Structure 1
Amino acid sequence: MRFIKDREWLLENLHDEHVSVIDCRFSLADHLQGKKDYLQGHIPGAVHFDLEQDLSGNIREHGGRHPLPNIDDLIRKIENAGINNDKIVIAYDQGEGPFAARFWWLMRYIGHDKVFVLDGGFKNWHEANLPVTVEIPLFEKADFRLKLRPELLATFEEVKEAVETQNQVLIDSREERRYLGIEEPIDKKAGHIPGALNKPWMEGVRGGHYLPISEQLQRFSELDPNQSIIVYCGSGVTAVPNFLALKEAGFEKVKLYVGSFSDWISYDENKIELSS
């Protein structure tokens, strides 16, 4: 199954009542920027979902910098956006990919199948001079039925077992310098989870567009499609493009460690590797 739609598809289906559009623009440098950008202009009919307000929970001692949101709160926001289990949902961010992918993964985690990411994001849409509006849409509240898919989520305990027994493949999605521990601009410790492979997420996209399946298969050529794979990053956001790319390439047993490296290092006893 393909999880990506191009701008032509969205333009053709923009006014279809069975299609919902979600704006996930966000800036890690300025947490208010995404909402500002949305208010200044967005794809018609789009509802804004904020990474920290809507797609993440409260930070605690463990769980990482972007833990799972409260599921009841997430469903309430989804229902207020007029989304039920039958709607086709397409999410976009500025074009980088991770924020829309985070929404895509969460929707699949709570049991929604018809969810996609807009390839190229808002940047690609805007550069093509396609419709943009400042109008804030209102929707009749929908009814969404929760069907959690725990098989998409890797718990801390599973990751710890994977480190100890090597029963699953761990993929670190951060850039190589952070993986190697050469630099760490965000977290209080540097390095990676022991035994993890490094597959930087940005190598799976080019100019804001996901690479074709043939090239994704090349990126993951040393992996066995039958293996269980856990992807992580710093806080469970930039790992999701790798999760999506793996699923696009036909890997079925893929899980996201939402807490990621920021959760792993919150346990003082956990070991860290500094080189491959």
Structure 2
Amino acid sequence: MSDIPLILEPEQLASLLEHEEIRVIDLSSPQNYLAGHIPGALGLPFQALMAGTPPAPGKLPSIERLTQVMQAIGLTPDTRIVACDDEGGGWAGRLLWTLEVIGHTNYSYLNGGMTAWKNAGLPLTTEDATVTPSSITVSIADDAPMIDAEQIQQRLGQNDLQIWDARSPLEYSGERMVAMRGGHIPGAINCEWTQLMDPQRDLRIREDAKEFLAALGIDGSREIATHCQSHHRSAFTWLVGKSLGLPIKAYPGSWSEWGNLSDTPIES
């Protein structure tokens, strides 16, 4: 399983489904999952991956909750998780980022998710998948790819950190406010998450992603911290950066935390 790529095409996954080490996790909406999913895929509600508590619902849940989730999907060190969803990669990326945070790097993303799978005419089933729970213990890895508000503030003046804001341009400018304060982190580059998806190729990651980002100034010359409102959209941008070999972390507090703090610097 070690030679399976991070970005997995539907046909590649189809040829791997019989391997017991492969575990497909589908983060599509419950109704879409029930209407037809990849044979053997387990449905996982995205809420399981988030703390869900205001003002920053996108932060990690407790270690106890994470342990329960990972045991429920049968995670072991040998399990190759393949994540997919029905919306272009945000929730799938959130699962893969969470796995990286707990030190499980044995994973792949189904490029284009269920849109690409269905449009390739590959098999679907409505049968419930079952899995034997594992007894894995979970902890936060020392090199977990995440950064917090205090760390960002400390590094803003050091010119060694680049902020990738994956929200919409209106959120970035502050015209659309979904927190106590609107705007963006000083110096942040705005590249909305959907700009990295190719609608002509079933929402796969755009083939020129590296060049596209470099043209915006996101070229990997500095460490990157990506965020959105609740680290859903930015879970996909983290995944894209990871797939391109960029030095990237995520800020799970995201704007729901930054914009609701009274002392964080903001530009608009």
Q: TM-score scaled by structure 1?
A: 0.87
| 2:84 matched residue in structure 1 | 92
- Unpaired runs of 5+ residues, structure 2, are none
Task: Give how far 1:183 is off.
Answer: 2.3
Identity of aligned residues (%): 27
| 1:240 matched residue in structure 2 | 235
Task: Give how far 1:193 is off.
Answer: 1.3
Read off the aligned partner of 1:46 and give its amino acid letter: A
Matches within 5 A, 1:15-164: 15-25=18-28, 34-52=29-47, 54-61=48-55, 64-146=56-138, 148-151=140-143, 152-164=145-157
Say if 1:238 and 1:150 are closer, same or farther in 2 by CA, change over 3 A.
Answer: farther
| 2:266 matched residue in structure 1 | 272
Counterpart CA distance in 1 for 2:5 and 2:126 is 30
SS at match of 1:148: coil
In the alignment, is the contact (CA less than 8 A) between 1:169 and 1:196 conserved in 2?
A: yes
Length, aligned pairs only = 260
Task: Give how far 1:224 is off.
Answer: 5.0
1:100-153: CA deviations, max 9, x gaps?
111110011111111111111112212233211121122222233435234311
Counterpart CA distance in 2 for 1:250 and 1:58 is 30
Counterpart CA distance in 2 for 1:6 and 1:35 is 23
Q: TM-score scaled by structure 2?
A: 0.89
List 4+ stretches of structure 1 deviating above 4 A. Answer: none
In the alignment, is the contact (CA less than 8 A) between 2:38 and 2:125 conserved in 1?
A: yes
Say if 1:266 and 1:187 are closer, same or farther in 2 by CA, change over 3 A.
Answer: closer
Counterpart CA distance in 1 for 2:236 and 2:198 is 12
In the alignment, is the contact (CA less than 8 A) between 2:227 and 2:234 conserved in 1?
A: yes
1:38-63: CA deviations, max 9, x gaps?
222211111122122x11013144xx
Counterpart CA distance in 2 for 1:235 and 1:87 is 28
Counterpart CA distance in 2 for 1:160 and 1:15 is 48
Counterpart CA distance in 1 for 2:180 and 2:26 is 31
Counterpart CA distance in 1 for 2:239 and 2:255 is 19
Give the RMSD, CA atoms, in angstroms: 2.0
Counterpart CA distance in 2 for 1:211 and 1:167 is 27
1:189-230: CA deviations, max 9, x gaps?
321112211122211111210022x43233134345342211
Match of 2:187 among 195, 202, 221: 195
1:256 aligns with 2:250: yes
Larger CA deviation: 165-174 vs 12-21: 165-174
Match of 1:178 among 171, 174, 185: 171
In the alignment, is the contact (CA less than 8 A) between 1:162 and 1:169 conserved in 2?
A: no
- Unpaired runs of 5+ residues, structure 1, are 26-33
1:205-263: CA deviations, max 9, x gaps?
11210022x43233134345342211111111111222122222221x31100010110
Counterpart CA distance in 2 for 1:109 and 1:217 is 27
In the alignment, is the contact (CA less than 8 A) between 2:50 and 2:58 conserved in 1?
A: yes
In the alignment, is the contact (CA less than 8 A) between 2:58 and 2:254 conserved in 1?
A: no
In the alignment, is the contact (CA less than 8 A) between 1:172 and 1:198 conserved in 2?
A: yes
